[in-house]
Amino acid sequence: MKPVIKQENVETLFDSRYIKIYDLQYAEGAHYFNASRREKENLAAIKTDEEFRSDFPDAVTIIVILRSDNAPDRLLLSMEYRYPAGRYLLSPPAGLLDPEDRAFGKDAEIVAAKREVFEETGLEITEEDSIRVFNPLLLSSPGMTDESNGIVLAVCHRNDLSFLSHAGAVGTENFGEFKLLTREDAKKALKDGRDENGNYYSVYTALALLTFVSGLYEAL
């Protein structure tokens, strides 16, 4: 029998704008701790099966493939400073879903993805580009957190890449250089399990690399 977690048995241990810590008391004297971006009443742990299966992700991660007339397809990544890791990590564009995004219903992830890509890369995704939800919701690390990401795939044809810019970065976002990876570059990163500086990368970067190297993006 699965544990049942009720809202009245959830205690808030730490509360800040972006991160909260909850004590999920799933039985008498039994505790499990959850790091979350959510308010108590919206925790995944207390949702019904139907609510859980129709939930919005907390954020979106975007796999951006750039095509041009005179070069092979390339995967657009950046070196982004990740504070918990304490260094710049190879990363795809990503960002939180805003409350306003949710008003778009099934298009919420697409709306958020277009905004985040523009802010972080200067790339404006238009109707001439291909953009779709690749995976509606992936749990980041469900043994510790209910944080989730929707995965969006965008394939864009651009011959001129002079638009690339991190000028739209907001808040604590801190970027290094852009990385335009060929399939050979991406294969090497997958094989090494590290970026060119020898640093590890996130599971979402690995997913972007795998999608690109496998050619799966061409079949969707």
Give the start-to-end residue ranges of the domains of the chain.
Answer: 7-53, 59-219
Query: With the C-alpha atoms ordered 37, 169, 110, 135, is the resulting torsion angle positive or negative?
Result: negative
Q: Summarize pLDDT for 10-64 with one digit per residue, the tens.
A: 999 999 999 999 999 999 999 999 999 999 999 999 999 999 999 999 999 999 9
CATH of 59-219, one of 1.20.200.10, 3.30.1340.10, 3.90.79.10, 3.20.20.60: 3.90.79.10
pLDDT of residue 1: 80
Residue 159 pLDDT class (50, 70, 90 cuts): very high
Q: Mean of the per-residue pLDDT values for the chain? A: 96
Q: What is the pTM of this model?
A: 0.96
Tokens of 64: 């951006």
123-127 contacts: CB < 8 A, separation 24 or more?
123/64, 123/76, 123/156, 123/158, 123/163, 123/164, 124/163, 125/154, 125/156
